[in-house]
Structure 1
Amino acid sequence: MLSHQNRPSLLRNTMETTSTPFLNLEEYSSVYSFFQELETDHGEASVSKRRMLDEFDVENKSMNEFLEFFDEKNAPTSQTEIPSFDFETRASEMADWDHVRVRKARTPSPAASHGGETAADDGGGQRRRLWVKERSKGWWRYHNSDECPDNEFRKAFRMSKATFNMICDELDSVVMKKNTMLRMAIPVRQRVAVCIYRLATGDPLRTVSSLFGLGISTCHKLVLEVCAAIRTVLMPKYLQWPNQERLQEIKTTFGSISGIPDVIGSIYTTHISIIAPKTNQEAYYNRKHTERNQKPSYSTTVQGLVDPRGLFTDICIGYPGSMSDEQIFEKSALSRRSTLGMLENSWVVGNSGYSLKDWILVPYTQQNLTWGQHVFNQKVNELQMIAKDAFMRLKGRWGCLQKRTEVKLQELPMVLGACCVLHNICETYNEEMDEDLRFDLYDDSMELKDGRGISVNALQARDSIAHSLLHFNFNRGT
């Protein structure tokens, strides 16, 4: 029999290496409580427990087998006494509290009247009480039911039920978790919904927790897990560099829009506000945001190349906000593609934050433009607006990008990448965005201070295109 004096020595023994499978702290608590109650009980309860010991061959069984035997004897007689969702809620609370609060009592606690605990009959008249925090899942149950109209679902998740169902089916094998003896696993649809809702609204985790009936830290974990699954499963399908056939289609469409030949994409870079990092703050310091807000502001960047539909074909995420568009571009995969010769006979259209290169077209910036240069700038601006509108819809759909994010800097690229993939999915399936969600971009463009790296061939090519555009528009007008 274990007494109070024996507890320290038993815990010390668990640190030693032996052939006997010693108890962990939770197992020890259960066994100790059993014997302590056996020592203090009187009457039928004591006799019942001693009969349990008589039925079990202690010397020839392991402690794990004893615990299984003990749990079987104390199992509730009715499944309705401890609903499965209580185990789910309790597991999420474990993550919040970083430890399990389990107490056993014979008499009801005052907290029981406030819904703070769940009880189960142990078979001997005792009530085993597990302290949990009740949470309502009513909001999610309604939005996950047929009663919720599609327009209301779209308002919460920025997509239709059909698109949401497709995403769940795609991620099912990666996101799904198995049920355990302690709890029922959170369903895939609820896991994906937590992530998409958080990205769509940017609501605090406390709000997400109350809507979905899960712990705050559980919701944060689900957001990161689903974002990682989106990057692994959906990014290769919905955000990839076009093949040759697709590149030719893009060139034809851009050519019909602007009259500029061989354009494969319009490039733009936006800034995402972040909390001041603990190290290397000066690198993330955003001068424009600081001047507008009148307080120190910090940001990271998202560079994207879009096709005529506003779909991202290339993204570069995570460089500090103090870097210019040109500096970010030089470090991106798109620049490496040009070095490998993958962009020959092609143009990427950018704003004045980029320098003119053999494969990058930017507007004229000098004073007193000629008619040809003026027309060229108009056409370049039309193509730039396609990229800018795509980023407007990106930030409009995913409200988490509109405010200062609380995600850790090392995890932020994964979250931003997931937003870009979800943007492409919504654009691919023609998901309409409400006008009241439009988000005006500001403080993104950074003027290039010098013209280093401009080649003579690029200057001549741009002048030739400008001349052709002037005559093309003149002939079309006559």
Structure 2
Amino acid sequence: MAVAITLLDCDLMLFGRGHRTLDRFKLNDVTDDYLISVFGFPKQFIYYLVELLGRSLCRPTQRSRAILPETQILAALGFYTSGSFQNLVGSIIGISQASMSRCVADVTEALVERASQLICFPSTLPAQQEITEEFFGVARMPNVMGVVGCTQVAIKAPNPDLSYVNKKGCHSISCQLVCDAKGRILSVESHFPGSLQSSAVFQQSDVNKLFHDGVLKDGWLLGSSVYSLRKWLLTPLQILETPADYQYNMAHTATYSIMEQVLTSLRSRFRCLDGSKGTLQYTPEKCGHIVVACCVLHNIALQRGLELCTPEELVKQEQPEAEEYEPVDSIDTEAFHMRQEFIQTHFS
């Protein structure tokens, strides 16, 4: 005799049937301080996310109770900012761990869908000029369109692919970011395996192609000494011979520090990226999407007037690790002469 087996939603087993939506946590009943301590963001920011993502999160469901967009967003923020699926966040907002996982997936997808609008280089000349002027105001480096940096995000081992094993012997993805003078992220590429070093990541990146093909022109990117000097990528000098060389390196360092602040802010605000609660337990592709989602939230936070989250002790931790400098014989000669001319023109 066949026995029909019905798979019950975990929330129904926990909380039973009743209303058509799950609505146990009231934002208006708690303070901003509490929301920031648990979910990382204040009330008005969360309401803005509900308005922005609500339609995407109101998808048809076969479950007898749909989880409200507000609750889904709180679940995802709780994961992003704590880095853990522990029952604490789920118990606060009244959903199971299984539903927490679904919410994180759905909110991540909704944020990634909006990445092309919220993470991009400016397309108009006035907007590009505004960026270069903001950079010039930092340390008088002219025509800078962005600073580029790379960071590692720990993931579970995607066996048997060893390309994700980084130089520390851990599994990770390499994530490249470009930001402007205010810390807004202009580009994020999070699909590279952890074995690739920063310079190799840049060489294969879409941003490099945009500058190489002249889609973005009349400006520079700044990169640390781990990058290869290119006609569109300025790196610091390794040998200083003149006062102009010293002035150039000082200006480069001051300007590049913005990227270090951005990376620190991301890891401090979104603990799922810093590995303190363990590695991300997803495929490399899904881990990359989580990185993009956090970058979208980072930009929205700046847009809504929230400041970078940069504790001093974390800034020191985020300083770039030593990588091998590019051999002298592999330096782009044309780029080398362009940099020398740039230094003489602007720092002599």
Question: Shorter-chain TM-score category?
Answer: 0.7 to 0.9
The answer as to 2:10 corresponding to 1:92 is: yes
Distance in 2 separating the partners of 1:156 and 1:26:
38
CA shift for structure 1 position 343: 2.8
Partner of 2:291: 416
The residue correspondences of 1:299-318 to structure 2 (distance < 5 A) are: 299-318=172-191
**Are residues 236 and 435 of structure 1, via their aligned partners in 2, closer, same or farther at CA, if it must alter by over 3 Å?**
closer
Distance in 1 separating the partners of 2:175 and 2:233:
19
CA shift for structure 1 position 452: 5.8
**Are residues 148 and 445 of structure 1, via their aligned partners in 2, closer, same or farther at CA, if it must alter by over 3 Å?**
farther
**Are residues 209 and 381 of structure 1, via their aligned partners in 2, closer, same or farther at CA, if it must alter by over 3 Å?**
same
Partner of 1:377: 249
1:146-189 alpha-carbon deviations (Å, 9 max, x no partner): 23112221222222211111111111111113476x62211110
Partner of 1:194: 75
**Are residues 446 and 341 of structure 1, via their aligned partners in 2, closer, same or farther at CA, if it must alter by over 3 Å?**
same
TM-score (normalised: structure 1)? 0.65
Partner of 1:236: 116
- Larger RCO (alpha carbons 8 Å, 6+ apart): 2
CA shift for structure 1 position 211: 3.0
TM-score (normalised: structure 2)? 0.88
Say which of 38, 51, 66 aligns to 1:169. 51
Partner of 1:455: 332
**1:266–1:349 Cα contact (<8 Å) kept:** yes
CA shift for structure 1 position 344: 2.6
Distance in 2 separating the partners of 1:470 and 1:339:
26
**Are residues 394 and 452 of structure 1, via their aligned partners in 2, closer, same or farther at CA, if it must alter by over 3 Å?**
farther
Q: 3-state DSSP class of the match of 2:9?
A: helix
**2:151–2:174 Cα contact (<8 Å) kept:** yes
**2:227–2:326 Cα contact (<8 Å) kept:** no
Amino acid of the structure 1 residue aligned with 2:73: V
**1:269–1:444 Cα contact (<8 Å) kept:** no
**2:173–2:288 Cα contact (<8 Å) kept:** no
Q: 3-state DSSP class of the match of 2:59?
A: coil
Partner of 2:323: 446
Percent identity of equivalent pairs: 20
CA shift for structure 1 position 442: 5.0
Partner of 1:209: 90
Distance in 1 separating the partners of 2:228 and 2:83:
35
CA shift for structure 1 position 134: 4.9
Distance in 2 separating the partners of 1:179 and 1:409:
27
CA shift for structure 1 position 218: 1.9
Partner of 1:124: none
The answer as to 2:24 corresponding to 1:133 is: no
Amino acid of the structure 2 residue aligned with 1:235: A
Distance in 2 separating the partners of 1:455 and 1:212:
56
1:404-439 alpha-carbon deviations (Å, 9 max, x no partner): 222222311111110010011111112135665973
Moved more, 377-386 or 268-277: 268-277
Amino acid of the structure 1 residue aligned with 2:245: Q
Gaps of 5+ in 1: 1-6, 12-23, 28-89, 95-131, 291-295, 472-478
Distance in 1 separating the partners of 2:212 and 2:329:
18
Q: 3-state DSSP class of the match of 1:303?
A: strand
Say which of 224, 239, 250 aligns to 2:131. 250
Amino acid of the structure 1 residue aligned with 2:211: S
The residue correspondences of 1:357-372 to structure 2 (distance < 5 A) are: 357-366=230-239, 368-372=240-244
1:222-249 alpha-carbon deviations (Å, 9 max, x no partner): 10111001111x3233212211221111
The answer as to 2:34 corresponding to 1:25 is: no
Partner of 1:265: 146
**Are residues 350 and 415 of structure 1, via their aligned partners in 2, closer, same or farther at CA, if it must alter by over 3 Å?**
same
**1:337–1:343 Cα contact (<8 Å) kept:** yes
Partner of 1:51: none
**Are residues 414 and 379 of structure 1, via their aligned partners in 2, closer, same or farther at CA, if it must alter by over 3 Å?**
same
Q: CA RMSD in A?
A: 2.6
**1:174–1:229 Cα contact (<8 Å) kept:** yes
Distance in 2 separating the partners of 1:216 and 1:397:
22
Q: For this pair of structures, how many residues does the alignment match?
A: 336
Q: 3-state DSSP class of the match of 2:132?
A: helix
Amino acid of the structure 2 residue aligned with 1:91: D
Q: 3-state DSSP class of the match of 1:25?
A: coil
Distance in 2 separating the partners of 1:400 and 1:341:
36
Distance in 1 separating the partners of 2:285 and 2:104:
15
Amino acid of the structure 1 residue aligned with 2:31: P
CA shift for structure 1 position 347: 0.7
CA shift for structure 1 position 444: 4.2
Say which of 201, 208, 216 aligns to 1:343. 216
Distance in 2 separating the partners of 1:425 and 1:92:
32
1:113-136 alpha-carbon deviations (Å, 9 max, x no partner): xxxxxxxxxxxxxxxxxxx3359x
**Are residues 328 and 451 of structure 1, via their aligned partners in 2, closer, same or farther at CA, if it must alter by over 3 Å?**
farther
Distance in 1 separating the partners of 2:108 and 2:289:
6
Distance in 1 separating the partners of 2:170 and 2:178:
26
Gaps of 5+ in 2: 17-22
1:71-99 alpha-carbon deviations (Å, 9 max, x no partner): xxxxxxxxxxxxxxxxxxx62358xxxxx
